[in-house]
Amino acid sequence: MLPPKAFTIPAHGAAMPAIGFGTMLLPQRPVELVAHAIKSGYRLIDTARKYGTEERVGEGIRASGIARNELWVTTKVTEENAREADFLKSAETSLKTLGLDYVDLLLVHWPQPNVPLKETLGALAKAKRSGLTRYIGVSNYTLAMLEEAVRVCPEPLITNQLEYHAYLPQDRMLAALRGYGMILTAYCPVARGQLLDDPVIKDVAKAHGKTAAQVCLRWLIQQPMVSAVPRALEEAHIEENLDVFDFTLSDDEMKKISALRSKRVRIADPPERAPKWDVEPV
């Protein structure tokens, strides 16, 4: 069953689906998994040049039989291509690899400290103005980077995609993004499986007749201006992750899950490209 259209999040003229299908490290049958996700009701498919899955995502889109204008496709330009000429060439390569005329959202994948943000964000805006993408955003930006990006980018940014789950606080980032009218798009939404055995999560899941993963995702999207792009490697899990629109967590349950942030578990922290992360209060 398709999620209601109401479960999109508005940001600067965009209406981003609250749940998307993440395609990083899809090991086997990626075309079939992408096609199944779309047929199951996903309308947002998230990929990146760095993932190496763009070609398979494009094939999966075509195999699904769903019209292109019903889908939201996100891809990202890697930090190695932060210079303007390289950036635009990367975006064009992504479209060719995907077999698409445009993407719905183009992101700067990781910050590049050796290239001025103004140059990279200018190239990102140029990609939008030239029709390569409908909307633009950033990924893995700190508070200071986000503030500068909003200031120097000639076009509105609609999201900062970064790690967010119940074990990692992002309160100040959420407040900043909401102030800019932007969405926090959460990757690693179940902390790469670490949350699935948490007793608090399991108790809440049992109370609702849902799985731990569904509770984790519901906790995220029940917060204002938060979306999520979970990855799944089995068809049953793909369907499970989308089945989060028929229940609501109580205020008490939301608070109990939010209290888990004191664990401060960060999954994605590659030393070769990660910035110095903000220290968030709990």
The residue segments making up the domain with residue 205 are: 16-263
160 found inside a domain: yes
> CA-CA distance, 72 to 190, in Å (whole number)?
22
> CA-CA distance, 180 to 14, in Å (whole number)?
14
pLDDT value of position 2: 53
**Secondary element (H or E) of residue 192:** none
Please list the pLDDT of the chain residue by residue as tens digits (282 residues). Answer: 455 555 999 999 999 999 999 999 887 778 999 999 999 999 999 999 999 999 999 999 999 999 999 999 999 999 999 999 999 999 999 999 999 999 999 999 999 999 999 999 999 999 999 999 999 999 999 999 999 999 999 999 999 999 999 999 999 999 999 999 999 999 999 999 999 999 999 999 999 999 999 999 999 999 999 999 999 999 999 999 999 999 999 999 999 999 999 999 999 999 999 999 999 887
Count other C-beta atoms under 10 Å from residue 270's C-beta. Answer: 8
279 found inside a domain: no
Length of the chain: 282
Vertex 172 angle, CA 153 and 10, to 5°: 55
Q: Which amino acid is at 32?
A: E
Q: Which amino acid is at 73?
A: V
273 found inside a domain: no
Q: Which amino acid is at 169?
A: P
pLDDT per position as a tens digit, 152-174: 999 999 999 999 999 999 999 99
pLDDT per position as a tens digit, 161-220: 999 999 999 999 999 999 999 999 999 999 999 999 999 999 999 999 999 999 999 999
3 found inside a domain: no
**Secondary element (H or E) of residue 46:** strand 44-46
Number of domains in the chain: 1
CA distances to 18, 62, 149 from 229, rounded to whole Å, are 8, 21, 23
Query: By three-state DSSP, how is residue 14 classified?
Result: strand
Backbone CA torsion sign across 188, 209, 260, 220:
positive
Q: If we measure between CA atoms, which residue out of 38, 77, 88, 81 comes closest to residue 58?
A: 38
110 found inside a domain: yes
> Helix 143-152 crosses helix 117-129 at what angle (to 10 degrees)?
50
Residue 13 Ramachandran class (φ > 0 left, ψ -120 to 50 alpha, else beta): left
pLDDT value of position 4: 54
Q: Are 189 and 222 in contact (CB under 8 A)?
A: no
Report field, pTM of the whole predicted structure over 0.85: yes
80 found inside a domain: yes
277 found inside a domain: no
Catalytic residue ranges: 51
pLDDT value of position 171: 97
Vertex 67 angle, CA 228 and 229, to 5°: 10
Q: Residue 177 maps to which CATH number?
A: 3.20.20.100
Structure tokens of 102?
A: 């445009």
275 found inside a domain: no
> CA-CA distance, 18 to 184, in Å (whole number)?
10
